[in-house]
Amino acid sequence: MSNPNKAPTGIAGFDEITGGGLPRGRTTLLVGGPGSGKTILALQFLVHGVRECNEPGIFVAFEETSKRIVANARGFGWDLAKLQKKKLFFLNAQPMPDLVQSGNFDLGGMLAALEAQVKAMKARRIVLDALDIILSLLPDATAKRREIYRLHEWLLAHNLTGLITAKAGGDEMASFNEHSFSFMQFMVDCAVILNHLVVLGISQRNLRVQKYRGTSFDENEAAFLIGQHGIEVPISRALRRVDAKATKERVSSGVERLDTMLGGGYYRAATVLITGFSGTAKTTLSGAFAEAACKRGERTLFVSFDSDAAEMIRNLASVGIRLDRYVKNGCLRMVSARSITGSAESYLVRIKMLATEHAARCVAIDPISTWSKSGSDLSAQSVAERLIDWSKAEGVTLVCTRLLDEMSSQPDGSPLQISTIADTWIHLNYLMQAGERNRGLSIIKSRGTAHSNQVRELILSDGGVTLADTYTAGGEVLMGTLRWEKESAERLAHEGTEVAGKLKRVRLDAEEAELQVRVKSLQVELEAKQVEKALLAHTKESRKGELTRDRTRMGKLRGADAAIPEHIGRTP
């Protein structure tokens, strides 16, 4: 960034637009309407020269007295009185109000006086503030042109890096006519135009480098603002854009199931957009992300446009996200941006400044949609884009939420169309079913990641944030009580089958036992039968013997009658 041909202004963004600063040893014209910040920019250029570049400077004040300028500069923390001793010289060159003119005159006297001063303090930079005032005294265009030419020659001859400011453009072309203005633009090596617009009641400042001889520069209008330390020009994109190092590193979203859905979490340095209606737990998800980051020991910045830091901590604690300890140990910085009013541009600058100050690796902004309310949609969008560019270049993982209008059902109907440039887009929604509102989470896109396409139910409890599987039935996703019912039904069904199985087993056991018993009894029966059979055989045998014996006996009896009575007497 140290180009020998450029004189840095110390305004980082401006030096980047111009590739290092103003042309050294040449003249720059700075034009803008009243209150557009010309004097501040010029003064900043001088102060930076004195403080950082060892280049003494002279400020020629044609409009405001040096006293007032010094007083105003104190507001930006520039102690000019200290610098004034040797390195910074103020020349009060306001024309007296009672000045009488008669005939032609020129600026020879001023240049002579300045010449002496330049030599005495070895000045390298010079600002001629509100040159239009002095030029307006000159009678005609020729005289103006001649004096501009004289001044320019003088600056070149002394190898001074000159900055001439003049009122022009805007509504007031009053004192500085078109003619000499265009002549000056033609003559100088660099011309910068400052613009101050009010769009929908929001102030917006822009600057544009109109020409810069012999160097490339960012030709687009760049927004800037007048901040606590003077002019701040947010880093321009075109020149700064380094292809962000694409990393495969994942960082946790703070919700385990969500990490799984995303295939391991967000990518490091990715931009995550969480959209949803009011109350869909956008803040909770950003809070979970912040907590996870702090748990890993990464410095985190949480910017809330909705509520105070204390409120946020309390509210998030109710869902098991405890941020207070990280605020205490300095890992987490909570910023309530409700108090900041201003353009989207000023938000961007503040956020970047805070993040840089805090050396944050993770940043959550809740919600970013506030921006589209302030100022024009166009600028809000460009600011959002630059925020994303910046976070990528810095390797900052960015989670921003966006509130959706209840009325619009389109998830991306709002003008702030950052969803196209965000890497991961998570959409939260309410699902109305069976008299309940349940939160649904779906991943609409996630670049470079296989991700689940399912809608999950987001459940908040004092134990934290969890995602539940949802059931689909008849093409509809079931959540809340319906999901619970379905879950219980399944559980019951499962239990039922188990019991049935057990029952069957018992019955089979019983049957088996019965059969065994039957087998045994049959065996016993069989034995009985066999016994019986044996008995039968035996009886038959003995009867046969008896019969034989009887017959023998009868024969015997027939032989001897005497034996008959005995036999008769024995048988009834």
Partner 1 sequence: MSRRAQFKFRLYVAGDTQNSANAVANLTALCRARLPDRYNIEIVNVFREPQRALAEGIFITPTLVKVLPSPTRRIVGTLSQMEPVLHTLGLNSVST
CB within 8 Å of 458: residues ≥ 6 apart: 280, 281, 428, 439, 440, 441, 465, 466, 467
Instruction: Say whether residue 77 binds partner 1 (CB under 8 A).
Output: no
Q: For partner 1, which stretch binds (CB under 8 A), given 88-96, 272-280, 380-388, 425-433? A: 88-96
**455 with 441: CB under 8 angstroms?**
yes
DSSP E strands in 394-455: the ranges are: 397-403, 424-433, 436-446
Q: Which residue in the set 58, 130, 134, 303 belongs to the binding site for partner 1 (CB under 8 A)?
A: 134
* Nearer residue to partner 1 within complex by CB, 95 or 395: 95
- Which stretch in 48-56, 95-103, 253-261, 461-469 sits in contact with partner 1 by CB under 8 A? 95-103
Which range, of 108-116, 167-175, 205-213, 220-228, touches partner 1 by CB under 8 A? 108-116
Burial class of 166 by CB neighbour count within 10 A (0 to 12, 13 to 18, 19+): buried
Based on the shown chain and the rule CB under 8 A, indicate whether residue 123 belongs to the binding site for partner 1. no
**Which of 97, 103, 330, 463 forms a contact with partner 1 (CB under 8 A)?**
103
Q: Is 97 in the site for partner 1 (CB under 8 A)?
A: no
- Binding to partner 1 (CB under 8 A) within 171-230 occurs at none
| Residue 487 exposed, middle or buried by CB count within 10 Å (0-12, 13-18, 19+) | middle
Binding-site member from 5, 65, 104, 552 for partner 1 (CB under 8 A):
104
**How many residues bind to partner 1 according to rule CB under 8 A?**
27
- Options 90-98, 224-232, 246-254, 441-449: segment touching partner 1 (CB under 8 A): 90-98
- Using the rule CB under 8 A, give the single segment among 113-121, 248-256, 385-393, 432-440 that binds partner 1: 113-121
105 binds partner 1 (CB under 8 A): yes
Does residue 117 bind partner 1 (CB under 8 A)?
Answer: yes
64: alpha, beta or left? (left if phi > 0; alpha if psi -120 to 50): beta
Beta strands 230-232 and 125-129 are unpaired
3-state SS class at 350: helix
Residue 82 tokens read as 């200290």
Does 88 engage in binding with partner 1 (CB under 8 A)? no
User: 32 with 168: CB under 8 angstroms?
Assistant: yes
Q: Does 91 help bind partner 1 (rule: CB under 8 A)?
A: yes
User: In the bound complex, what is the minimum distance in angstroms from residue 208's beta carbon to partner 1?
Assistant: 31
Q: What is the 8-class DSSP label of residue 423? A: S
Q: Which stretches does DSSP call E strand in 435-495? A: 436-446, 456-461, 464-468, 471-473, 476-478
Among 107, 168, 294, 383, binds partner 1 (CB under 8 A): 107
Report long-range pairs for 356-359 (Cβ below 8 Å, ≥24 apart).
Answer: 358/299, 358/301, 358/333, 359/299
CB of 104 to partner 1, least distance (A): 5
- Binding flag, residue 490, partner 1 (CB under 8 A): no
- Shortest spacing between CB 100 and partner 1, in angstroms: 4
Least distance (Å) from partner 1 to the CB of residue 92?
6
Closest to 147 measured CA to CA, from 156, 158, 134, 157: 134
The least CB distance from residue 131 to partner 1, in Å, is: 12
Selected binder of partner 1 within 34, 75, 77, 108 (CB under 8 A) = 108
**Of the two residues 95 and 279, which places its CB atom closer to partner 1 in the complex?**
95
Segment (H or E) for 105: none
Residues numbered 248 to 307 that lie near partner 1 (CB under 8 A) are none
Residues paired with 275 in a beta bridge: 402, 427
- Contacting residue, 12, 53, 113, 199, with partner 1 by CB under 8 A: 113
Rule CB under 8 A: say whether 96 interacts with partner 1. Answer: yes
| Shortest distance, position 117 Cβ to partner 1, whole Å | 7
CB neighbours of 377 closer than 8 A, spacing ≥ 6?
415, 416
CA–CA distances in Å: residue 218 to residues 15, 25, 26? 10, 21, 19
Residues 6+ apart with CB under 8 A from 428: 274, 275, 276, 277, 280, 281, 282, 285, 439, 440, 441, 458
From 93-101, 508-516, 540-548, 554-562, span contacting partner 1 (CB under 8 A): 93-101
Question: CB of residue 103 vs partner 1: minimum separation in angstroms?
Answer: 3
62 vs 217, beta carbon nearer partner 1: 62
Q: How far is the CB of 146 from partner 1 (least distance, A)?
A: 10
Q: Shortest CA distance to 286 belongs to which of 305, 568, 432, 87?
A: 305
CA distance 509 to 531: 33
Q: Pick the closer one to partner 1 by CB: 122 or 295.
A: 122
CB of 418 to partner 1, least distance (A): 53
> SS3 letters for 125-140?
EEEEECHHHHHCCCCC
Among 5, 75, 86, 115, binds partner 1 (CB under 8 A): 115
Figure out which of the listed residues 2, 4, 97, 98 binds partner 1, where binding follows CB under 8 A.
Answer: 98
CB of 126 or CB of 309, closer to partner 1: 126
For residue 552, CA distances in Å to 210, 538, 548, 556, 566 come to: 160, 22, 6, 6, 16
**Residue whose CB is less far from partner 1, 93 or 426:** 93
Q: Which residues bind partner 1 (CB under 8 A)?
A: 91-93, 95-96, 98-117, 134, 137
